Amino acid sequence: MPTVLSVTMAIGSHKLSEQGAITKRMTAIEEMAGMDVLCSVKTGTLTLNKLTVDKSLIEVFCKNCDKDSVVLFAARASRVENQDVIDACLVGMLADPKEARSGIQEVHFLPFNPVDKRTAITYINESGKWHRASKGAPEQIIDLCNLKEDARKRAHAIIGQFAERGLRSLAVARQEVPEATKESAGAPWEFMGLLPLFDPPRHGSAETIRRALDLGVNVKMITGDQLAIGKETGRRLGMGTNMYPSSTLLGEKGGHANSDVAGMPIDELIEKADGFAGVFPEHKYEIVKRLQDRKHICGMTGDG
């Protein structure tokens, strides 16, 4: 019997390889065959991870600047080499990618990191004056610019409107550096505007999800994006919009899960949910662990 099973799984492994799926362990084929829950990240798995910006939707906040200025400063705050997806998108919006560094001398570049959640460039313009440009997560840029209450409310309203349409928001700011040193704090930051980023669903994602559902596999979206973005993407892919924020999974103190959310136990909530938004690695672990504790065979795609 063990020989028969090994040969059967070896044949299955070969057939999977012909479809582009490589198995590291033959026993994984048997486990996958019994899977009844599939958790999938959104960006790059359910979506293409090829960002586009609808220029007509760009919101400008600063005086004496327009949408083209917002795009230019966002491109300046991007790398022109070794680009990530966002940098490539923004630099690609320019008529000529060389414009991102045209007429300026780069002094220092702050790459993106999970703490600051923004990039920034310090540069000298043709007049010899020092400036900075920064782009990143809206909340970080809003705080960086110390926006007044009215402007802050307007920004949050726009971010919410973008999210409802499945669009991520990217904020852009600029600053003068009269001290002419890269270490100096510089003058107050000026909030320039918000750009909407659209990451279209991957071709075939909706059909794959439909087939999985037909086979009895419950597909859940696990995303770090905002809840409204997750719901809109779920709607487009036909996987449901019954999604919850990550705050329903882990308590604020001690990392313990909340005992009850929306009138039902957390384990039941996870089972019935179509997905979760704003997640971090610890949330992914918690979701999979609780599903396994309830005797589900759970799969995870993407960077989970």
pLDDT of residue 217: 94
Nearest to 221 by CA among 31, 37, 29, 52: 37
pLDDT of residue 73: 96
pLDDT of residue 206: 92
Task: Give the per-residue SS3 of 184-208.
Answer: CCCCCCEEEEEEEEECCECCCHHHH
- What would the two tokens of residue 78 be? 């991007």
Residues 7-54: tens digit of each pLDDT: 888 888 888 888 888 888 877 888 888 899 999 998 888 998 888 998
User: Could you give the 3-state DSSP secondary structure of residue 110?
Assistant: strand
pLDDT of residue 302: 75
All residues at 6 or more sequence positions from 133 whose CB lies less than 8 Å from its CB, including other chains:
73, 74, 76, 77, 120, 121, 123, 172, 173, 174, 175
H-helix segments, 189-263: 205-214, 227-237
Per-residue pLDDT at 263 exceeds 70? no
Phi, psi angle pair for 244, to nearest 5°: -135, 155
Q: Whole-angstrom Cα distance, residue 171 to residue 91?
A: 15
CA dihedral 247, 248, 251, 257 (to 10 degrees): -140
Residues 91-148: tens digit of each pLDDT: 999 989 899 999 999 999 999 887 788 999 999 999 999 999 999 999 999 999 999 9
Residues 69-79: tens digit of each pLDDT: 999 999 999 99
Is residue 35 within 8 A of residue 217, CB to CB? The reply is yes
Q: Whole-angstrom Cα distance, residue 139 to residue 156?
A: 9
For tokens 């100096």, name the residue.
184
Per-residue pLDDT at 4 exceeds 90? no
Nearest to 229 by CA among 159, 155, 288: 159
> Which helix (H) or strand (E) is 260 found in, with range?
strand 260-261
Nearest to 166 by CA among 219, 221, 220, 231: 231
More confident residue, 22 or 162: 162
